[in-house]
Structure 1
Amino acid sequence: MKALLRAAVTALTAAFLFAAPAAAVEITDPENTLLMELKTGTVVIEMRPDLAPQHVERIKTLTRQGFYDGTPFHRVIRGFMAQGGDPTGTGMGGSELPDLPAEFSNERHIRGIASMARSANPNSANSQFFIMLGSAPSLDGQYTIWGRVIDGMPHVDAIRKGNPQANGIVSNPDRIISMRVAADVQEKTQ
């Protein structure tokens, strides 16, 4: 009886946490879709392996390792972008995996685009990424676009903004509660 009750609670919890975004938007490729849970709700990101196969694979690998869970959005600039993916929250950290070569494309950095952060070296993307809050043509062809938000953009807009004088650094940052590949969530709830 306890096992049955525990299974029912687990199923209901998974349905509550992860079914809502699927109802709002159709997920056509669960293996290339992320579910990012923020304090205000779920953000659904469609990944683009056709544009940046190595970067998409890196995001999925780190997501499946739980790397992004609890990481802060350390740099958030109103009308520009929200940057996270650094467990140190300093903008200087990354994963233990090697940096990736650039996979630039002709896609534009417009609202909702997910792109990789990097240093001055174009081949230095690792784990940090940003989501565009507005358009920034100056980034086009300079940063690797790997996805786009297809649902939940109001949750991205609600991420705590940083101090404009400090280049958008956030003193008490909002965090990614959890990030999952949709295919993995669907497997667990079936």
Structure 2
Amino acid sequence: MDLPRAENVEISEDSTKISTPRYAIMDTLRGSITIEISKDASAGVVDRFINLCKIDYFKGMPFRHVIKNFLIQGGDFDLNGAAQEWILKAKASGENSLSPKHEAFMIGTTRSPNNKGFDLFITTAPIPDLSDKIILFGRVIKGEDIVQEIEEIDTDEHYQPKTPIGIINIMLIQEL
């Protein structure tokens, strides 16, 4: 089953301010993942994530990199860009020093001046300190088994899934 590619969408930083939902339910081809949105995260990143959810930006978005014991990455980005470079270098170097800031099942996005896309990361293990690469804005509180199932899919030598896997949709909610 082919997933449609999310289109580049530019979101104005002046978008109408909305009440920040506490949770996001990410439906994937393998099941649902419940994310607690961090109230302490960067307000701009959280607002951007929420605005993109509201316009169905993530609907049909594929996971482009699935790296066992590291992370799952979805998003609209250049596959030859900087994000791919640091992801593959970090995994290949075998860096596994633990960082309490980037433990397993954290949700984040790249630190990037590019407003046209949005990378979405789910860490699958404690990973090296990526504070200069990823802004965390949430954590998985239900569906860790789904994240682990996605982490086990077959990938090619570039960590790209051999079978399409991705996000069906993300729904925002205030209460569980």
Q: State the TM-score, normalizing by the size of structure 2.
A: 0.68
For the pair shown, the structure with the greater C-alpha radius of gyration is 1
Structure 1 unaligned runs (5+)? 1-28, 93-105
- Are 2:100 and 1:110 equivalent residues in the alignment? no
Q: How far, CA to CA, are the matches of 1:75 and 1:43 in structure 2?
A: 18
- 2:66 maps to which residue? 76
Match of 2:134, SS?
coil
Moved over 4 A (4+): 88-92
Name the counterpart of 1:31. Answer: 21
* Higher helix proportion (structure 1 or 2): 1
Q: What is the identity, as a one-letter code, of the residue corresponding to 1:156? A: V
Alignment partners' CA distance in 1, 2:45 and 2:101: 17
- Structure 2 equivalent of residue 146 of structure 1: 137
State the SS of the aligned residue for 1:170: coil
- Whole-Å separation in 2 of the counterparts to 1:50 and 1:111: 18
Q: Distance in 1 between matches of 2:126 and 2:47?
A: 25
**1:63-102 superposed matches below 5 A:** 63-86=53-76, 90=79
In the TM superposition, residue 44 of structure 1 has moved relative to its aligned partner by 0.5
60-69 vs 125-134, which deviates more?
125-134
Q: Does 1:175 align with 2:166?
A: yes
Normalised TM-score (structure 1): 0.63
Measure how far apart 1:169 and its partner are: 1.9
| Consecutive unaligned residues in structure 2, runs of 5 or more | 1-18, 82-98
Instruction: Kindly indicate whether the alpha-carbon contact (under 8 Å) linking 1:71 and 1:85 is maintained by their aligned counterparts in 2.
Output: yes
Contact (CA 8 Å) 1:32, 1:182: kept in 2 or not? yes
Kindly tell me the number of residue pairs found equivalent between the two proteins: 138
The CA distance in 2 between the partners of 1:91 and 1:56, in whole Å, is: 26
Bigger RCO (CA 8 Å, 6+ sep): 2
In 2, are the aligned partners of 1:36 and 1:44 still within 8 Å (CA)? yes
For the residue of structure 2 that corresponds to 1:179, the secondary structure is strand
Q: Does structure 2 conserve the Cα–Cα contact (< 8 Å) formed by 1:74 and 1:91?
A: no
Contact 1:108 1:137 in 2 (8 A): no
Where does residue 44 of structure 1 map in the other structure? 34
Check whether the contact 2:110–2:133 (CA below 8 A) recurs between aligned residues.
Answer: no
Say if 2:58 and 2:170, in contact at 8 Å, map to a contact too: yes
Structure 1 residue 89: Cα displacement: 8.6
Shift of 1:40: 2.6
In 2, the alpha carbon distance for the partners of 1:162 and 1:170 equals 4
For 2:31, the aligned partner's letter is: G
- Does structure 2 retain, via aligned residues, the 8 Å contact 1:77–1:161? no
1:177 is paired with a residue whose SS is strand
Q: Distance in 2 between matches of 1:53 and 1:91?
A: 29
Letter in 2 for 1:40: R
- Corresponding residue number in structure 2 for 1:20: none
Give yes or no for contact 2:104–2:123 (8 Å, CA) kept in 1.
Answer: yes
CA RMSD of aligned residues (A): 2.8
Distance 1:132 1:60 in 2: 20
